[in-house]
Amino acid sequence: MLDGEEKLIKRAIRGGASAYGTLYDYYQPKIYRFVLIKVGRREDAEDLTHQVFLSAWQNVGSYKSMGFPFGSWLYQIARNSIADYYRSRKQETSLENVDPEYFVAPAIAHFGTDEKMEMERVMLAVQKLKPEYQDIVIMRFVEDMSVKEAAAAMDKSEGAVKLLQHRAINELKKILL
């Protein structure tokens, strides 16, 4: 969560473009990575990410904290945009064209060749999961979201997110073993 996020949101709600710009600068790389992992094409990910932030800016006045961060609201918008994207194209989620560098959290992007090969293997396994499992794996382990944040982004209870995470991990184990 961004320091002073609540104040920035209040300023953005009042029309403060610079406050919204600060929120954008903080969340854009995270939302872009999430979208890129889900759609697989950079151009589409850039367009969808732009749509997410445009929609958020147009609707920032309707944002209510309700105990979850602004980022969770953005992920919810992103998930809806991705669903619309696939509905309009009638395609399946494909992670094939995603560079593994985008799949890992920036803090571990410095891994060596062996670790990167293992990440590619995991990424291919995640690709085989159903979309909801992909979302929870990406949110919890790539974006490092808390259960509460992921629950808000997925519009589910914390218990449901924990169950989804458990099932997703079990499916990943089956695929990887």
pLDDT tens digits, 11-46: 988 888 999 999 999 999 999 999 998 888 899 999
Q: What is the average pLDDT across 142-158?
A: 90
133: amino acid identity, one letter: Y
- Residue 53's pLDDT is 96
Domain count along the chain: 1
What secondary structure does DSSP assign to 135-170, as a single string?
A: HHHIIIIIS---HHHHHHHHT--HHHHHHHHHHHHH
Phi, psi dihedral angles at 47 (to 5 degrees) = -60, -45
Q: What is the CATH number of the domain that holds 83?
A: 1.10.1740.10
Q: With 50 as the cut, is the pLDDT of residue 118 above it? A: yes
**pLDDT tier for residue 125 given thresholds of 50, 70 and 90:** confident
Full-model pTM: 0.72
pLDDT, tens digit, 9 for 90 and up, residues 90-116: 654 455 555 555 555 454 556 677 776
What secondary structure does DSSP assign to 25-67, as a single string?
A: HHHHHHHHHHHHHHH--HHHHHHHHHHHHHHHHHHGGG---TT
The rounded percent of the chain whose pLDDT value lies above 90 is 46
Pick the more confident residue, 154 or 104: 154
27 is in which domain, residue-wise?
5-176
